[in-house]
Chain A
């Protein structure tokens, strides 16, 4: 679906609130400040996905959006491989940047992703009264395009364009750069837009 400026602004506001909660939880886990960007919304033709998500190695914790809408799309905690090591090193009290990632890293990343995405979705549920529940998390540490395109493939054969809705969360102190990326499928998107519009009319 095509979004008007007002609708895009509404979604951006929703992202602000969700990401602010996620940033708070990350900040608590790291014990240092976390800054967030203004949420970006991009409608990307699937053939162009490689220009946005390429071969770079990243850890991605993905959740299917469930709840009122059964297969509502995906939400992903995305963190570059370098930042992921810094994050788990900070959490586990390690310093070696050049080590291979192991099961400890994987559980830590799953846990961080879980906490942040839950905070994001809790905040949006509270705001909109629209329940999006995260599925159990699935983690991969691999090429960004390989993972993200696999999620797009799961969204079905009619998808030619994907809406990437992302907010960057940065911890300057530990040089950790991460993103929360939401890829709502059309029913979810339409429902979010409708609820946001109603809410803004009410104000």
Chain B
């Protein structure tokens, strides 16, 4: 890859259900059916990243970052506090894969996660600029708010990508 952007010791690791807001690099490793969602405001160079596991909170409030329906309003609130402008936010997402093809009870959680995120972003009027979702592949995602909100993706087979 020509671009030298790589995660370093300053990079915040974001586990399942966690989120961060700021201009430092942020990373989610090994997304399977989970979604790594980023919101970015170009004017302030502030961004937010969350590691969503499921589409619906079903009323649970203790871990808002874990569910798509509670994570997005949370990020909007936190971004507002840090001085980002909601109107200029753009979203990107990665993940939402289906790692195991067959289970008797398998509902495709990855796909449902991605659909829910799209729907909520639309409701909130936030454009989803780019996405790399679905398939049967794990992804590690690094987000660089200070570099124009760029996202780098690494897959288990060693291939890389950018959003």
Contacts and interface: CB of A to CB of B under 8 A. Distances in A.
Contacts of B140: 55, 143
A153 B15 contact: no
A54 B16 contact: no
Determine chain A's interface SS by DSSP, over half rule.
mixed
Sort chain B's interface into a size bin. Answer: 35 or more
A135 B100 CA distance: 13
Dominant SS among interface residues on chain B:
loop
A144 B99 CA distance: 10
B92 interface: no
Nearest to A70: B105
A195 interface: no
B47 interface: no
Interface residues of A, number: 35
10 contacts: A50-B13, A55-B138, A71-B105, A136-B104, A145-B29, A147-B138, A149-B30, A150-B109, A157-B56, A157-B57
Interface string B1-32: 00000000000010111100000000001111
A140 interface: yes
A107 B27 CA distance: 34
Interface in A57-81: 57, 62, 64, 66, 71
Given A150-B32, A153-B34, A157-B56, A145 B138 contact: yes
Given A48-B15, A49-B16, A153-B33, A147 B99 contact: yes
